[in-house]
Chain A
């Protein structure tokens, strides 16, 4: 009899819990209906789903791209056995390297730039947030320091590096970038560090008053992707004609 009572109590407990959940969900639904006047949760959820789909598609396309690029390497190597083509292929690989169309690795630095913490547009100077001009300035310093290849937020920079600003957002080849902005550079590490640490404008930006956050790390192996891993290069040369 005592055992039966315990079961009864337990059953009642579960029932009450389910009832509670149902009431709670009902209230939640009611609140959601009221909230349509404010932030549109349904639209947020749809947009979030769409974003997940696009992200998943990007991962698939990226994997496909890697597979195709690897197949291309294998095929070109097979052509390399042909004496007539060997010289052409050497030049092909050299051009690809100079154009940023092949992945590269080497010693280098990884630099991160970020806006001032809790940036307040009313009290903080405009320099406290990173602009396209700040990125371009740092890139120019790195090239002057002897950088041989650079990627900005994972995008390999080429001869036609489009880094621009739309309002507070930085675009790289038309793609929106978010802070922290990571610049990876292969080159003479000591020289690269020297140009960054001795630059007066960077010293000014990183002082407490301005508050731009800059970190520089050395790395024995910096791996930079090929431009083709993120973009198609042909639209960037379609107006160029031979003289």
Chain B
């Protein structure tokens, strides 16, 4: 009889142990299901998604209104549809850099000293910094920066949109940025970038000036530039 109870007791103990192991495993699975991410990483991801969702939501709301107007106009004849389509077409042209634009902005002038040849990396650094600062239109020596713009050295020249500029000549970068941030942030920041570049290049290589301009005009992309060639692109269905 005692042996029998001992048997039961040992089965009981083993089952309890198995149960505990399963429960602890479940806990681990729970922890793994969080992807091993830290709280900070999760919160960052949430913020990113919130930002993306807000943008998409705004875009969808605008699209929805636009479509309602188009549908109403289709139903009642031509009406104002012409105006809506032309308006959006022009907004796309501005976004693509196909129209000249103006507003307050900054002008960066890079003057190489005797014997120094400008590096494409210096121009790219300023252009990238301006893009990161939220510049909405940028030009390099009046050559509009568009999606396909390259800035690269070719022997004694720097090519921008396929146009050559002498590396010993003055380069002028213009940009239209948030007017509210020009004095407080954009100009001081670009000056610090300029200082850091000058230190890397040796002080006497190039003079860098950064100034605010109340009336910056950025020209449209010239129609003979390579950006206009779209034969390799097929609109996706």
Interface residues of A (CB under 8 A from B): 9, 12-13, 16-25, 27-28, 31, 39-41, 43-45, 47-48, 50-51, 54-55, 57-58, 61-62, 64-65, 68-69, 71-72, 75-76, 78-79, 82, 84-85, 88-89, 91-107, 132-133, 136-137, 140, 143-144, 146-150, 157-165, 169, 174-176, 186-188, 223-224, 228, 230-234, 236-243
Q: Beyond A47-B42, A61-B56, A105-B233: 10 further Cβ-contacts under 8 Å? A: A9-B11, A16-B11, A47-B39, A48-B33, A51-B42, A54-B53, A68-B63, A82-B78, A148-B232, A239-B176
A-B contact pairs, 11 of them (CB 8 A): A16-B19, A28-B27, A44-B42, A54-B46, A76-B70, A88-B86, A100-B147, A140-B151, A176-B45, A230-B55, A240-B103
Question: Within residues 44 to 88 of chain B, which ones have a CB less than 8 A from any CB in chain A?
Answer: 44-46, 48-53, 55-60, 62-64, 66-67, 70-71, 74, 78, 81-82, 85-86, 88
Q: Is B169 an interface residue (CB 8 A)?
A: no
User: Main SS of chain B's interface residues?
Assistant: helix
Report the bound CA distance from A51 to B227 in whole Å: 39
Given contacts A79-B81, A175-B51, contact A132 B132 (CB under 8 A): yes
**Pairs of residues from A and B, 5 with the lowest C-beta to C-beta distance, nearest first:** A20-B19, A24-B23, A16-B15, A164-B132, A99-B96
* A-side interface mostly: helix
Closest to B31 in A: A41
| B205 proximal to A (CB < 8 A) | no
The answer to the question of B222 belonging to the interface, with a C-beta cut-off of 8 Å to chain A, is no
Residues from chain B with a CB closer than 8 A to the CB of A84 are 78, 82
Q: How far is the CA of A78 from the CA of B234 in the complex (A)?
A: 21
Report yes or no: A104 in contact with B236, Cβ–Cβ below 8 A: yes
Distance between A158 CB and nearest chain B CB, rounded to angstroms: 5
- Return the chain B residue nearest A161 by Cβ: B131
Task: Check A147–B148 contact: CB distance below 8 A.
Answer: yes
Task: Return chain B residues, CB-CB under 8 Å to A47.
Answer: 39, 42-43, 46
Shortest B154–chain A CB gap in Å is 10
**Using Cβ atoms and an 8 Å threshold, which residues of chain B touch A71?**
67
Q: Which of B26, B95, B100 contacts A159 (CB 8 A)?
A: B95
Quick one: which of B33, B93, B151 contacts A95, CB cutoff 8 A? B93
Q: How far apart sit A76 and B63, CA to CA, in the bound complex (Å)?
A: 13
Partner of A72, one of B67, B82, B91, B101: B67
- Cross-interface CB contact of B235 among A40, A58, A88, A102, cutoff 8 Å: A102
In the complex, the chain A residue whose C-beta lies closest to that of B99 is A242
